[in-house]
């Protein structure tokens, strides 16, 4: 009887322990990990099948699991910096634990890995975009005339613009894309959302994804405003029984300017690589954006 009680208590304790699994999401990373003798898998498909079986087993036991993106190159650097043996499974466990607090993660919700892997990669891209844009904003420093932090001011303005864009959008699902061109790279950030029964915008379903998505999107928009780099923002709304609406704005010299309906049509109906005209998408209205009202945070630093 006492033995049974101990088993029950241990099972209950295991349910209380949250775990993290570091995933090798593609063949390239998998092949890189095979250079370690202690990594015994020899087929990526089999590896993913076994991981999924473990995830389902843990979920059936009521145990929460987080999925993290395991990067073999980052792992090698981590082992070199900490003096750990990269051949040791314990080192991989410690690296994965580090990922749980610092790297991109998503919760396992029972969905197939075929669905979760792209979501995990997307989250990694969002986090990298956010960190890169934030670094560039930080480097802008204070305004030499008034002393205000240029990056922080641009982020505040971008946040205000995003709120007004979502508040003025038609009902339905929203798909926002922001791109900013400039050295050394063109940054692109995507934000998804829909409208709940109270008329409020609900962004990505997972709270952590929503947090990263908004910060990445706002940081890219802020970078375009602060550096006066060319760019644009396009909104697409979809609702049952109505045509999709597509409209947008351009970023130019720190200004946020609405595109005309014909400009939106031309952008969507021109091949980006060849410049050739393409047929307009059926069931889509290319239109002018709604009035966002007054820019309450000002137009940025012009002095």
* Tens digit of each residue's pLDDT (9 = 90 or more) over 243-264: 999 999 999 988 889 999 999 9
- Is the per-residue pLDDT at 137 higher than 80? yes
Partners of 251 in the β-ladder = 231, 256
Q: Is 97 exposed, middle or buried (0-12, 13-18, 19+ CB in 10 A)?
A: middle
Residue 124 CA to residue 202 CA, distance in Å, equals 21
74 vs 208 pLDDT, higher one? 74
Quote the CA–CA distance of 66 and 112 in Å, as a whole number.
14
Section 176-194 average pLDDT: 84
pLDDT of residue 210 exceeding 60: no
Half-sphere CA count of 112, side-chain side, radius 13 A: 3
Q: Residue 298: which of 178, 164, 161 has the closest Cα?
A: 161
pTM across the whole model: 0.75
Task: Name the H helices within the chain.
Answer: 2-16, 27-33, 44-60, 72-82, 89-102, 113-139, 150-168, 207-227, 261-268
User: Which of helix, strand or coil describes residue 91?
Assistant: helix
Residue 134 to residue 143: CA distance in whole angstroms: 17
Burial grade of 160 (CB within 10 A; 0-12, 13-18, 19 or more): middle
Positive or negative, the CA dihedral 76, 80, 82, 87 is positive
pLDDT band of residue 13 (cuts 50, 70, 90) is very low
- Rounded-to-integer distance, Cα 188 and Cα 272, Å: 15
Q: Which residue has the higher pLDDT, 146 or 142?
A: 142
Sign of the alpha-carbon torsion through 27, 30, 35, 41? negative
| pLDDT for the residue 103 | 83
The CB density around residue 98, as the number of other CB atoms within 10 Å, is: 17
pLDDT for 202 = 55
% the chain with pLDDT above 70: 84
Average pLDDT estimate for 207-234: 83
Residues 133, 219: Cα–Cα separation, whole Å: 6
Establish how many alpha carbons lie within 13 A of residue 219's alpha carbon, considering only the half-sphere containing its beta carbon.
Answer: 21
Confidence label for 206 from pLDDT (cuts 50, 70 and 90): very low
Question: Looking at residue 270, what is its pLDDT?
Answer: 79
Q: Which of 95-99, 166-170, 191-195, 236-240 has the weakest average pLDDT?
A: 191-195
Mean pLDDT score across all residues of the chain:
84
pLDDT recorded at residue 220: 92
* pLDDT computed for residue 277 by the predictor: 76
| pLDDT, tens digit, 9 for 90 and up, residues 144-178 | 888 899 999 999 999 999 989 988 998 888 999 99
Task: State the average pLDDT over residues 116-142.
Answer: 91
Which phi-psi region, left, alpha or beta, contains residue 64 (left: φ > 0; alpha: ψ -120 to 50)? beta
**Lowest pLDDT segment from 44-53, 136-145, 191-200:** 191-200
Instruction: Over range 116-125, report the average pLDDT.
Output: 90
Phi, psi of 274 (to 5 degrees): -90, -25
Structure tokens, 157: 């303005």
In terms of Cα–Cα distance, which of 155, 160, 191 is closest to 174? 191
Place of tokens 């934030």: 134
DSSP result, 6-53: HHHHHHHHHHH--EEEEE--SHHHHHHHTTSTT-----HHHHHHHHHH
More confident residue, 6 or 226: 226
The answer to whether residue 201 scores a pLDDT higher than 70 is: no
């Amino acid at each position: 009887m006492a033995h049974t009680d101990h088993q029950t208590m241990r099972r209950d304790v295991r349910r209380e322990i949250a775990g993290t699994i570091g995933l090798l999401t593609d063949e390239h990373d998998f092949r890189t990990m095979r250079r370690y003798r202690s990594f015994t898998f020899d087929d990526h498909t089999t590896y993913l099948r076994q991981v999924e079986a473990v995830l389902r087993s843990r979920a059936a036991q009521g145990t929460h699991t987080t999925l993290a993106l395991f990067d073999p190159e980052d792992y090698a650097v981590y082992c070199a910096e900490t003096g750990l043996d990269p051949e040791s499974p314990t080192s991989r466990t410690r690296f994965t634990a580090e990922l749980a607090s610092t790297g991109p993660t998503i919760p396992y919700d029972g969905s197939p890995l075929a669905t979760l892997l792209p979501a995990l990669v997307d989250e990694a891209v969002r986090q990298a975009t956010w960190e890169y844009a934030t670094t560039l904003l930080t480097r802008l420093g204070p305004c030499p005339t008034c002393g205000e932090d240029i990056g922080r001011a641009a982020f505040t303005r971008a946040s205000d613009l995003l709120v007004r864009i979502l508040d003025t959008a038609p009902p339905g699902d929203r798909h926002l894309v922001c791109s900013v061109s400039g050295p050394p790279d063109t940054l692109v950030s995507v934000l998804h959302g829909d409208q709940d029964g109270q008329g409020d915008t609900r962004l990505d379903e997972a709270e952590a994804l929503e947090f990263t998505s908004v910060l990445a999107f706002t940081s890219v928009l802020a970078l375009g405003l602060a550096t006066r780099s060319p760019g644009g923002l396009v909104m697409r709304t979809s609702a049952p029984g109505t045509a999709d609406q597509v409209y947008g704005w351009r970023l130019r010299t720190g200004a946020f300017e609405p595109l005309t309906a014909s400009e939106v049509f031309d952008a969507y109906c021109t091949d980006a690589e060849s410049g050739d005209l393409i047929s307009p998408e059926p069931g889509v209205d290319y239109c002018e954006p709604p009035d966002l009202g007054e820019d309450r945070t000002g137009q940025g630093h012009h002095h």
